[in-house]
Structure 1
């Protein structure tokens, strides 16, 4: 039986340890030729050696993807080695805890640059190749911190929420080119998530010993599936960890439509209706939400 990613070329950032290492190995075992990036070249090289020892094809590229030049360099190495890029798994991340009142500019910028900008730079460099190929798979790494909020993660959560928005934008722009984009919000014990110092609510403090058994290997099969040409899903986010996978979705309440401009007293009176989630909508792009507005303001028969 042919492997699902046979002869496909996958780029994985932050591939020297933790989730990135697991993703790279899983992609290689699914038949992909893997380009591993890590800020520490030696770590990426070690994982590439593991892949080659198993009979796979892999190259290692060092450097940070937080700059446009760094992201472009990873893709340039991929094209030079394998002549194409079929999938980008943007996994590189950094976590520097800080409460809002204590946040320094450097702490803010470093986390946003690596997690958000670093997700875009590699995708931006790979995009023209995917367009010409008429196909591509992008998997970004978001976080429950950004989707649901977590104490001490203002920088990390903002970046990861931005990653989710980026995935939605890539899905919209990529549709006409056969490019899909999705996001995963992983829950697994890694060198980064295992650090329970700082001000955040750690997974280990809530899940206890259960968290220690939640491995990166539980996350990577979903990444392989989202990189597969057989997976047509796009613009979605998935919580994944410990054998559980669940779609995370953004919904919009039906809401209330009143006079223009609405009176504050009317808003107060209809507040429960405004906040109710009964009969919610699930816009997949901005145009869907605009259609909801049109129907609400002009009626269901409006053209």
Structure 2
């Protein structure tokens, strides 16, 4: 079982390269794939800051790379994009593929505590294993300069990971994030199955709760939310996070975008702003 990443795909784009890798993850107990977009290097010794993208429900490591158009500005800004998968795969746990919003493709970026789902440790994979893997095997990446963003379930992941690790990330942003999973059907289903009945454990993965522990943030939190998103009122509830930020004076830029839905068409429209938001923080 080779923990060292093996390149399994490469495509040139905006003078850089989308490269896909496969490796065995000791954290998750299965093989995992991830993408890196390497911008064009000004010199052989140049090191790029890294920007992690966390995808949403049903996605793999491929959706963002193929659909977002983020590489154009990442190339211009000199930021490497890292896109991991959204859950363990191939473990054949009973019920893992019974529904699209739980199990495979739905890791929720947490560490499961229930025995059946013990391999679902996407939090540790994203926060610990993947950065070390990148640092050990890709000398052109400067993993000490890192930011994080994501979409929907991945927006939830980005916000919670950032708020729990302010020393590791320079900035955060999200598209249509699940900001208050304790109070929405997606989150409640995931938390009861992965974490059991311990509501204190749920709070550790809820951005609206975590922001109440807020200490000075180095950069504003940027969130874009489409106003025609069919999940806006039942699942996403950005106003809950906005109220929580206001109560502790946390810097939030919440942009409600008229007419936009939950899709990658929406993400592609505003991705440039997000890349530049992170690039600015990563240069400081």
Same fold per superposition (TM over 0.5):
no
More helix by share: 1
More strand by share: 2
The structure, 1 or 2, with the larger RCO (C-alpha pairs under 8 Å, 6+ apart) is: 2
Tell me which interval the TM-score lies in, with the shorter structure as reference length.
0.3 to 0.5
Structure 2 length as normaliser, TM-score?
0.39
